[in-house]
């Protein structure tokens, strides 16, 4: 998919892959990249028309996803690792988290990024470079309780970003991270219990006291994928309305 390019068309001619891009933050990012001129491929468990169905915790699915993207468009320049588990998780003391759920969160939120990057990086190397943006969360910076597996997984993404950036710098592949605050995405709004527990407290803690929406994340991701970020790598941008100063 692609959208009407902006006047600047910062990403004209670029091929972008957005995981978990069917709705919420992922869809807003995909639309934003498209507006900047990129050709955008959405991968999701329930993809829109023209997207690719993929379970990002599956090595076979990830390899097929990247192969199909390259076959369709001839290459890949941008990867946004957005897919993850959050809103469907119950908030509870860590002693009550089932080990199987812990492992599932780590597979979907962390191992998936290892698999996608491993599949994408050889393609980017062949094109002389690329941009990878990993979607983390503001929760590990604030130490949010009762979601220990989720918070741990999102903290791991920050470490993953830093280490991979060091490894890929020589290849002109930039690896950065965006950490949104509590966002009123489709997935969150489909879980009223999560909204009830977190919405008001999140807004009250912000410097900019309003709901965060998926579109609030787009500008940072588009910037990190574009030429304005050509000397930026290994960084994490916390996008939460000033709840946390990083």
Query: pLDDT of the chain along its 246 residues, tens only?
Result: 555 544 457 899 999 999 999 999 999 999 999 999 999 999 999 999 999 999 999 999 999 999 999 999 999 999 999 999 998 899 999 999 999 999 999 999 999 999 999 999 999 999 999 999 999 999 999 999 999 999 999 999 999 999 999 999 999 999 999 999 988 887 776 777 766 778 888 899 999 999 999 999 999 999 999 999 999 999 999 999 999 997
Separation between Cα atoms, residue 211 and residue 204, nearest integer Å: 10
Query: Among the options 86, 146, 150, 244, which is catalytic?
Result: 150
CA angle 209, 182, 192 (to 5 degrees): 105
Q: Answer whether residue 245 is part of any domain.
A: no
Q: Answer whether residue 166 is part of any domain.
A: yes
> What is residue 1's predicted lDDT score, i.e. its pLDDT?
57
Separation between Cα atoms, residue 34 and residue 244, nearest integer Å: 30
Q: Answer whether residue 9 is part of any domain.
A: no
Question: What pTM was computed for the model?
Answer: 0.93
> What is residue 8's predicted lDDT score, i.e. its pLDDT?
53
Verify whether residue 150 is a known catalytic residue: yes
**Which pair of structure tokens corresponds to residue 208?**
């900019």
Contact 184, 191 (CB under 8 A): no
The structural domain count of the chain equals 1
> What is residue 126's predicted lDDT score, i.e. its pLDDT?
97
Q: Answer whether residue 244 is part of any domain.
A: no
Which secondary structure element, helix H or strand E, spans residue 156, and what is its range? Answer: helix 148-168
> What is residue 201's predicted lDDT score, i.e. its pLDDT?
87
Which secondary structure element, helix H or strand E, spans residue 44, and what is its range? Answer: strand 39-44
Q: What CATH number should be reported for the domain holding residue 84?
A: 3.40.50.720
Q: Answer whether residue 35 is part of any domain.
A: yes
Contact 229, 174 (CB under 8 A): yes
> What is residue 132's predicted lDDT score, i.e. its pLDDT?
98
- What are the backbone angles phi and psi of residue 231, rounded to the nearest 5°? -120, 25
Q: Answer whether residue 31 is part of any domain.
A: yes
Separation between Cα atoms, residue 170 and residue 184, nearest integer Å: 38
> What is residue 223's predicted lDDT score, i.e. its pLDDT?
98
Q: Answer whether residue 246 is part of any domain.
A: no
> What is residue 5's predicted lDDT score, i.e. its pLDDT?
47
**Residue 244 to residues 116, 144, 179, 202, Cα–Cα distance (Å):** 29, 12, 11, 11
CA angle 65, 134, 155 (to 5 degrees): 125
Max CA pair span of the chain: 53
Please classify residue 224 by burial: count the beta carbons closer than 10 Å to its beta carbon, then call 0-12 exposed, 13-18 middle and 19+ buried: buried
For 73, other C-beta atoms within 10 Å of its C-beta total 16
Q: Answer whether residue 109 is part of any domain.
A: yes
Domain hosting residue 23, numbered range: 15-239
């Amino acid at each position: 998919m692609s959208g009407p390019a902006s006047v600047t068309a910062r990403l004209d001619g670029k091929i972008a892959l957005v995981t978990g891009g069917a709705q919420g933050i992922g869809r807003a990012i995909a639309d934003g990249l498209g507006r900047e001129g990129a050709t955008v491929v959405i991968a999701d468990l329930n993809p829109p028309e023209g997207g690719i169905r993929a379970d990002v915790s599956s090595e076979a699915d990830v390899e097929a996803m990247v192969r199909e993207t390259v076959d369709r468009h001839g290459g890949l320049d941008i990867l946004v690792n957005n897919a993850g588990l959050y809103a469907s998780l119950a908030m509870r003391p860590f002693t009550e988290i089932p080990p199987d759920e812990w492992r599932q969160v780590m597979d979907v939120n962390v191992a998936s990024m290892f698999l996608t990057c491993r599949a994408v990086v050889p393609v980017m190397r062949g094109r002389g470079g690329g941009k990878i943006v990993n979607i983390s969360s503001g929760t590990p910076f604030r130490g949010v309780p009762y979601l220990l597996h989720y918070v741990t997984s999102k903290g791991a993404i920050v470490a993953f970003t830093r280490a991979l950036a060091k490894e890929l710098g020589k290849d002109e592949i930039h690896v950065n991270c965006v950490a949104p605050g509590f966002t009123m995405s489709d997935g969150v709004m489909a879980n009223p219990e999560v909204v009830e527990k977190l919405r008001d407290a999140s807004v009250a803690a912000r410097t900019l006291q309003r709901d965060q929406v998926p579109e609030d994340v787009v500008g940072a991701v588009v910037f990190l994928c574009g030429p304005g970020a050509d000397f930026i790598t290994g960084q994490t941008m916390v996008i939460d309305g000033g709840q946390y100063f990083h």
